[in-house]
Structure 1
Amino acid sequence: MANAKEILNDIMTLDGALCCSIVDSKSGMMLESAGTGLNLEMASAGNTEVVRSKLKTMEILGLDDYITDILITLGKQYHIIYLIPAVKGAFVYAVLDINKANLAMARRKIQDVGATLKI
């Protein structure tokens, strides 16, 4: 098991990694962060609303399922939201440079390290 700082430092070793955080999706509060490039406090809080909206939509549709991750592709960046299975109500949020990152490798790494989180 790894702590939050170790996980984020591991994510920051990815090619193209700009910044990342671990977020409490109940409050929208950022628990830990690494990297620079944007206001992670605001981005973390805003992406909490993305997660809540998707969960609400799944409930309305009667889907008996769960979210693994959410990918948002911008013109210059990938934004990955990975819901941590072992820590209900928390997610990893990572921002990567689209021209430097390998999306498949990034998703895999975030899933692997996120699964080891111990809070």
Structure 2
Amino acid sequence: MMRVSRDSSRGEHPKWATPGQHTSPADLVDVPNQVCQAGHMTATALRVRARLGLRRDLPAPAQRRAIREASGLSQGELAQAIGVTRQAVSHWEAGTRTPQGVLLERYVTAMRTLREEA
């Protein structure tokens, strides 16, 4: 996370805080998706990386159906376990839609579990 200095009283645009520059904590704002001085990612960057990791772990549509069928589950049974409708699972397996947010997490977890159990 990089720190930038901003003079909020005059509404100026942020300026990079240079090493040794004295600014009060109230004058500093965080720039998202940057690395801080200690080398840690911001919370936003970590969430983005986690979401990208989930997307990478999501099998291709044809593989999704094959994984589910190999486990012996119907679309309705998988849907009930995830908390969605059978039609949602059907769309995901056809590739016409992609799960989002918490449903992406649940679906990827279900796919991993089914793959491990097969």
- If the length of structure 1 is used for normalisation, what is the TM-score? 0.25
Give me the TM-score of the superposition, normalised by structure 2.
Answer: 0.26
Larger radius of gyration: 2
Relative to total residues, which structure has the larger strand share, 1 or 2?
1
Task: Answer 1 or 2: higher relative contact order, Cα 8 Å, separation at least 6.
Answer: 1
